[in-house]
Structure 1
């Protein structure tokens, strides 16, 4: 059993009145005092309308990670998702990172970002979580990540590089952890380290090979890994559908679980659920006829996180 509460010791609740005044519960707010290190990604936060909670309690943290050509503000409104309203009723906080590149893509290709405490955008996002734990009642034992496209790729990267931080992730229309790695990233471009071969679904490995890549990004880690939910549309023309099977190969190997069967029309008509093991660690959802933007299924996701 992982216990990431070593991230920070929490002894008080939101002790900074100035910081509290800068953030309005029930709205998306830039956190002006977040230092944005090691990269220049910005931290936005959504606190539930009843924040601070009474009686005082720690709040689960959901990290919602945007796609290329997006930012924190656009992902807050993406597909009219229900993350904020559910945060109000279920009492969790949401971190919306905003990528530092002009094109809004995340660095999911450099070894810095792929490696535990190696730097890169992944470590900046983890620093946002630490900041939320210290300043906004965040619960270090209930940290989750969800993302779309480039954000989905980052969710997989975070699961691999920071298994001591995250408990579960959901990836909509992404690729396996490490699939975009290139020896030399392309700093200053709109699509840092874009890997066309991976995007086209042409990178095929065994489950063991994919799993070894994940384990290699944090070789000292001997604990468990986050539970993983993978979503992909069969008609995805940006990050091709074969990446769905490769990601499921990867995480089923990491968790040591086998495919046990499909369930059609789950969670809705046209979707097929693929379960591994007892279904609590790795699950996939294939969306027939859906393109690159698979709709967010908030309640399915939050149930997977044990938040509902």
Structure 2
């Protein structure tokens, strides 16, 4: 075969190969674009159920953060409702957290507003709140943005400012607790689900050690008097088989709250509802007043207890954490 013939055959084969590769790349690209569009459309859709799913934006010195607010149906003119702030974990956003926890259903039944601040992926690629970065200042900047979202909700929607509680999962739980240390007078209750207490990490590297339960927690900057008059009671929910955030962090969180208030642990009690995982509940009180509650769920991993089946970071077999969160907050509102 002559060199010219060989070159012609090679060129033809190369063109066929490139053409097939181009078609394959285009097909893959179309699938990627299709999935991206589906994700955007899905995220823009409200979770199933009655009520309003409202969008907003909080601005601050550290940028901006989107938020969603759930308003139950049938709010009357002049009516003021409690507000529950819900902070999602890593790999989640406002909508997925609402779907996973099904908190909107509880809010529709019990009549309260739910605020879902949302972390920006440009601030953290995994969607985690940067609760740990106190040295770099990102933690405090994001806490301020979340408070701006709370203030905006109070201004624009029928919020009773005397009845505000905050809860979070994982990084959201850690950010919720940090936020309360900076603004304890703004909240009546705080719930940490699978999180790390404030004063345990100050950077990304120390956060890894804290997640494994290898760091001590610093005392809170509070006195028994301020804890009794200003600071909200804490509930901690943590799984015993959590391999991402050691369960020792849950015990450390209630202990640091109890130590600051000079509170003592009462007898633990085991509770099981139906076929759900059993839980061990321990209350910490000072002079009869509740300071902190620890809910330990031995069979639960790193997931929202009692959440929607089939959702990431959600375990439908656990006791209903959303109902526990609201029951705990409602009790503090009445008190």
TM-score (norm 2): 0.70
Q: How large is the Cα RMSD of the aligned pairs?
A: 2.9
Q: Is 1:265–2:286 an aligned residue pair?
A: no
TM-superposed deviation, 1:113: 9.1
Asked if 1:28 is matched to 2:50, the reply is: no
More helix by share: 2
> What is the rounded CA distance, in whole Å, between the counterparts of 1:285 and 1:28 in structure 2?
31
How many residues end up aligned between the 2 structures?
261
Unaligned runs of 5+ in 2: 1-49, 306-319
TM-score by length of 1: 0.76
2:201 pairs with 1:180: yes
Deviations 1:239-289 (A, max 9, x none): 111112111111112332111110012566521001111473310100012
Paired with 1:122 and 1:113, the residues of 2 have a C-alpha distance of: 13
**Per-residue CA distance 1:207-250 (angstroms, 9 max, x = gap):** xx4234xx49xxx9995211110011111100111112111111
Matched, 1:42 2:66: yes
Q: How far did 1:26 drift?
A: 1.5
Q: For structure 1, which runs of at least 5 residues remain unmatched after alignment?
A: 1-24, 186-192
3-state DSSP of counterpart to 1:226: coil
More relative contact order, 1 or 2 (CA 8 Å, 6+ apart) = 1
**For the residues of structure 2 that align with 1:230 and 1:222, how far apart are their CA atoms?**
18
Report the Cα distance in structure 1 between the residues aligned to 2:171 and 2:227, rounded to whole angstroms.
Answer: 25
CA drift at 1:35:
3.1
- For 2:214, the equivalent position in structure 1 comes to 202
Q: Distance in 1 between matches of 2:220 and 2:243?
A: 26
Work out which of the two has the higher radius of gyration on C-alpha atoms and give 1 or 2: 2
1:166-245 equivalences under 5 Å are 166-182=187-203, 195-205=207-217, 209-212=218-221, 215=222, 223-245=229-251
Native 8 Å contact 1:146 1:171 kept in 2 = yes
Q: Displacement of 1:157 after TM fit? A: 0.9
Task: Quote the Cα distance in structure 2 between the aligned partners of 1:302 and 1:222.
Answer: 21
Aligned twin of 1:274: 282
The aligned counterpart of 1:105 is 128
